[in-house]
Amino acid sequence: GEDVEQSLFLSVREGDSSVINCTYTDSSSTYLYWYKQEPGAGLQLLTYIFSNMDMKQDQRLTVLLNKKDKHLSLRIADTQTGDSAIYFCAESASKIIFGSGTRLSIRP
Amino acid sequence: GAVVSQHPSWVICKSGTSVKIECRSLDFQATTMFWYRQFPKQSLMLMATSNEGSKATYEQGVEKDKFLINHASLTLSTLTVTSAHPEDSSFYICSARETGYGTEAFFGQGTRLTVV
């Protein structure tokens, strides 16, 4: 069945780059999403990538997709305290399945 | 991007009552809608997938009679939590997709349900 996995925690120093990784199982996924969720809030779509792309850049965000390995990553450049949140990746095929979320914490 | 409106954004209800949550696609026709539930500090769990005009497909472990889903039109799906109990308190989020497989999905802002 479909499964999406992420590491649970990531701690980075302010100003450094954060890289959040995700693996998925459904090779027929067409869209892959990254969402941000701050405490007590809903989901905020950060970016997404279509499965025929291998990279997408949007300001501080870079998404890399390795379709062969079914690996997706989100790189946040110059990480700021406001980036502290939980980041979810999701794969979209017949269903949309979310990963467990990675809690990103920023240290000074 | 397209807009999905979810209403209400939060609701408090008494144990034993039923609560209806609406999910509307405002500027596109949603052939498929998904309903998710999120427990505190956990991920989003897919509850069911609904296609307009047909019965919803529920994920394993989700009670059909407890969580009634109706997708009667291409712009509206509803989730009714029947005879709600405190353990049903959660964050519910809907998602809508314009056609079936392979198109982008858009998410509502979520509904926080508290059952007292």
What pLDDT, on the 0 to 100 scale, is given for residue A30?
Answer: 83
Given a contact cutoff of 8 angstroms between Cβ atoms, the answer to whether B86 and B15 are in contact is yes
Q: What is the pLDDT of residues A44-92, one digit of tens each?
A: 889 999 989 999 999 999 999 999 999 999 999 999 999 999 999 998 8
Catalogue the E-assigned strands of chain A: 4-6, 9-13, 18-24, 31-37, 43-50, 55-58, 61-66, 71-76, 85-92, 96-98, 102-107
Rg, C-alpha atoms of chain A: 13
Q: What is the pLDDT of residues B14-56, one digit of tens each?
A: 999 999 999 999 988 888 999 999 988 788 999 999 988 888 9
Residue B18 has a CB neighbour count (10 Å cut-off) of 11
Distance from CA of B95 to the nearest CA of A (A): 9
CA–CA distance, B7 with A96 (Å, rounded to integer): 21
Residue from B97, B104, B109, B112 to probe the interface with A (highest A Cβ count within 10 Å): B104
For residue B101, name the pLDDT band (cuts at 50, 70, 90): low
Distance from CA of B90 to the nearest CA of A (A): 11
